[in-house]
């Protein structure tokens, strides 16, 4: 069984990796143009990539950069930032469910194969489980002083 110290080291490394990945993704979303978006979205029909979609993707890039900063700060001291780790865990669970809802309510099978959406959702659930297992556990409350 790993000691709490080694568990925090693994958690710090994982959060740091997620932070770098989110920063790179956010910068790509912000500075990427229409040709890059066409490639990232697996070459959808040209009419599907509108100016409104590009603006929304750039806004989402800003949110992803914000998430990157939060993950970086949580990686520095996981014990004090359990709320960020819990939020990331819950966010991954939500992000696992929403593509499945889109799969059954929208016509996205012409853009993405259904199995890719299922695999992506399962990977997100596994990552959420790993974060939940590695999160620092609360310690027993002790009164201040020597009683």
Distance of alpha carbon 20 from alpha carbon 2, whole angstroms: 26
Q: What is the pLDDT of residues 12-30, one digit of tens each?
A: 999 999 999 999 999 999 9
Distance of alpha carbon 125 from alpha carbon 131, whole angstroms: 10
pLDDT bin (cut points 50, 70, 90) of residue 84 is very high
pLDDT bin (cut points 50, 70, 90) of residue 139 is low
pLDDT at residue 147, rounded to an integer = 61
Residue 110 in tokens: 């012409």
Which is more confident, 137 or 97? 97
Distance of alpha carbon 88 from alpha carbon 145, whole angstroms: 35
pLDDT at 56 over 80: yes
Model confidence, pTM: 0.74
């Amino acid at each position: 069984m790993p000691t709490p110290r080694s568990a925090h080291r693994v958690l710090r490394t994982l959060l740091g990796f997620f932070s770098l990945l989110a920063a790179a993704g956010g910068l790509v979303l912000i500075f990427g143009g229409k040709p890059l978006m066409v490639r990232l979205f697996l070459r959808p029909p040209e009419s599907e990539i509108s100016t409104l979609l590009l603006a929304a993707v750039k806004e989402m890039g800003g949110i992803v950069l914000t998430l990157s900063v939060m993950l970086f700060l949580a990686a520095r001291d996981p014990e004090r930032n359990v709320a960020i780790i819990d939020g990331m865990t819950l966010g991954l669970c939500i992000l696992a469910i929403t593509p499945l809802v889109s799969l059954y309510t929208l016509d996205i099978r012409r853009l993405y194969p259904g199995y890719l959406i299922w695999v992506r959702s399962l990977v997100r659930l596994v990552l959420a489980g790993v974060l939940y297992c590695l999160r620092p556990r609360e310690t027993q409350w002790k009164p201040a002083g020597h009683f």
